[in-house]
């Protein structure tokens, strides 16, 4: 009688220990998955911001190229007054 009880309890104890071990590993994996999902959300937001920045930079580049084709962006030389000349208002 005792032998059958012991032979029944030993596999049950082993299964219990295995279940606890597996549960601990699964919860650890769940924590890792949550961290990965949080990082994925952060990277998605960063990608959206970078896509917006690239789009705006590209739009500015296109406008600049069109302006150059139309000759709108000619640079006018800047002239400065000589420091020795004073202008007096009356």
pTM above 0.75, yes or no: no
Q: What tokens appear for 22 in the block?
A: 């597996």
Determine the pLDDT at residue 47. 97
Q: Are 49 and 43 in contact (CB under 8 A)?
A: no
Q: What local confidence, expressed as pLDDT, does residue 74 receive?
A: 67
Q: What is the pLDDT of residue 86?
A: 65
Per-residue pLDDT of 3-48, as tens digits, reads: 888 888 999 999 999 999 999 998 889 889 999 999 999 999 999 9
CA distances for 75 relative to 8, 62, 79, angstroms: 94, 19, 13
């Amino acid at each position: 009688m005792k032998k059958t009880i012991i032979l029944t309890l030993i596999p049950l104890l082993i299964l219990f220990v295995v279940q606890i071990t597996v549960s601990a590993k699964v919860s650890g994996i769940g924590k890792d998955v949550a961290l990965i999902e949080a990082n994925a959300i952060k990277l998605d937001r960063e990608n959206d911001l970078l896509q917006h920045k690239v789009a705006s930079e590209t739009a500015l580049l296109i406008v600049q190229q069109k302006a150059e084709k139309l000759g709108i962006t000619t640079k006018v030389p800047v002239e400065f007054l000589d420091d020795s000349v004073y202008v007096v208002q009356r």
